[in-house]
Amino acid sequence: MKILVCISHVPDTTSKINFTDGDTKFDASGVQFVINPNDEFGLTRAMWFKEKQGASVDVVNVGGPETEPTLRKALAIGADAAIRVNGPATDGFSVAKQLAKVINDGNYDLIIAGRESIDYNGGMVPGMVAALTNSNFVTNCIGLEIEGNTATVSREVDGGKEVVTAELPLVLGGQKGLVQESDLRIPNMRGIMMARKKPLTVHEPVETSSETNSVSFEKPAAKGAVKLIDADNIDELLDLLHNEAKVI
């Protein structure tokens, strides 16, 4: 089985978000970048298929050279090879087009992406990739087993979960649950050394266009100060929630 894990390179969750160039661009200065958390869960699950079922695991990112350390980290965690499609990730559609090309050329059976990336929160790349490659698609995945050509996937739905089956080739949108937090792997020295020798291939992008583009960014309006209520005065809280906030 050939697995491809799509890795989006995102600011660490603790990053302060700022913009430059007249609020038209994300300001990456001083920001630490990481593997998108949803993709890290998927990558860790892929390692299980590698170790238990002999799968091969490639990782891919669409982005500039600055994303290579993130791909190297994925190699250090255990992926076999990395691909970087050398192009700016301008919108979900153009990224999906690039990924579809990699998938078609590489004949992958299983494509694991994340439910959403925590930077632009598009939540659209995996579904678009599935539609472009004519693969089955399941998102919000919290569990995955594969037997032969059939995947059994648990997925989160409003108010619970459901179990579905689908034939490969299959595209997944993963999230926590695919593995537990405690299963995540921190690359060790040996992994890091080995990652240096693993292939990281740069592909030139195919011609595509963006369907959407960012015009500008702004910060949400600052919040007013909190109203503190004495612990002995719950009546006041109820009064405020009822008459001022009008939420009860």
38 lies in the site for ligand AMP, by CB under 6 A: yes
Instruction: Provide the sign of the torsion angle of the four alpha carbons 165, 170, 176, 179, taken in this order.
Output: positive
Residue 212: partners with Cβ closer than 8 Å, 6 or more residues away = 91, 92, 93
Sign of dihedral through CA atoms 153, 155, 161, 165?
negative
**Strand partners of residue 81:** 58
Based on the shown chain and the rule CB under 8 A, indicate whether residue 33 belongs to the binding site for other proteins.
no
Helix (H) or strand (E) holding 161: strand 160-167
β-strand pairing of 200-203 with 81-86? parallel
User: Which x/- pattern over 101-140 shows residues binding ligand AMP (rule: CB under 6 A)?
Assistant: ------------xx-xx--xxxxxxx--------------
Applying CB under 6 A, which of residues 11, 39, 137, 178 lies at the interface with ligand AMP?
Answer: 39
Is 187 a binding residue for other proteins by CB under 8 A? The answer is no
- Residues 62-101 close enough to bind ligand AMP by CB under 6 A: 62-63, 89, 92, 95
Q: Which of 6, 7, 11, 37 binds ligand FAD (CB under 6 A)?
A: 37
Of 33 and 93, the one with the shorter C-beta distance to ligand FAD is 33
Task: Select 37 or 177, whichever has its Cβ closest to ligand FAD.
Answer: 37
Closest to other proteins by CB, 82 or 130 = 130
Q: What angle do CA 93, 75, 170 make, to 5 degrees?
A: 45
Burial class (CB in 10 A: 0-12, 13-18, 19+), 122: middle
- Asked if 149 is part of the footprint of other proteins (rule: CB under 8 A), the reply reads no
Residue 13 binds ligand FAD (CB under 6 A): yes
- Which residue has the CB atom at the shortest distance from ligand AMP? 114
User: How many residues form the binding site for other proteins (CB under 8 A)?
Assistant: 79
Nearest to 129 by CA among 86, 172, 175: 172
Minimum CB separation from ligand FAD for residue 151, in Å?
26
Give contact residues for ligand FAD (rule: CB under 6 A): 13, 37
